[in-house]
Amino acid sequence: MAKKSKKQQQSGGTPATVALTAAGVPFTVHSYDHDPSRPSYGEEAAEAMGVSPDRVFKTLVADVDGTLTVAVVPVAGQLDLKALASAAGGKRAAMADPALAERTTGYVRGGISPLGQRKKLPTVLDASADRHETICVSAGRRGLEVELAPADLAKLTSATLAPIGRE
């Protein structure tokens, strides 16, 4: 069952938590105080929650042959753009312009969630997610994560599972 703070209950949550609730998917919300001086949002989240960095996944937006595509990979590694292009059925991938990613998803950088985006984008989830019972992804705001089963994330985002991360 979802655990929400009093403030989230009053505000209705983020688009990500609203989408999870509407879908009836079990999830847990984790919040922490975000430190703006930290260079890596994902590593900060893993440390703050006391969760292994291979279970905390970051959401990146890339341009695959002119199509914005979401890549969800462990914060402990990096996105392999060639592998993403291949998994998405394209030839070439590059990181998307951050401002375009923010406008398209409705989230700010460091808080982009694969769930509840303004415009649903093709999504590729790193295959390593299947090694875990649950993983954490952004809940749509810096300092807020949701923990859920990888299969539920894949189903809700219509994600393709593929080895797109590298260490």
At 121-163, the pLDDT tens digits run 999 999 999 999 999 999 999 889 999 999 999 999 999 999 9
Checking if the pLDDT of 10 tops 50, the result is no
CB neighbours (10 Å) of residue 4? 18
Sorted by sequence, the CB contacts under 8 Å of residue 56 that are 6+ apart come out as 42, 45, 46, 49, 74, 75, 76, 135, 136, 137, 145
**When comparing pLDDT for 47 and 22, which is higher?**
22
Spatial CA neighbour of 76 closest among 53, 104, 103, 102: 53
pTM: 0.89
Which amino acid makes up residue 76?
A: A
Q: What is the pLDDT of residue 7?
A: 37
Q: Between helices 150-157 and 15-23, what is the axis angle to 10°?
A: 100
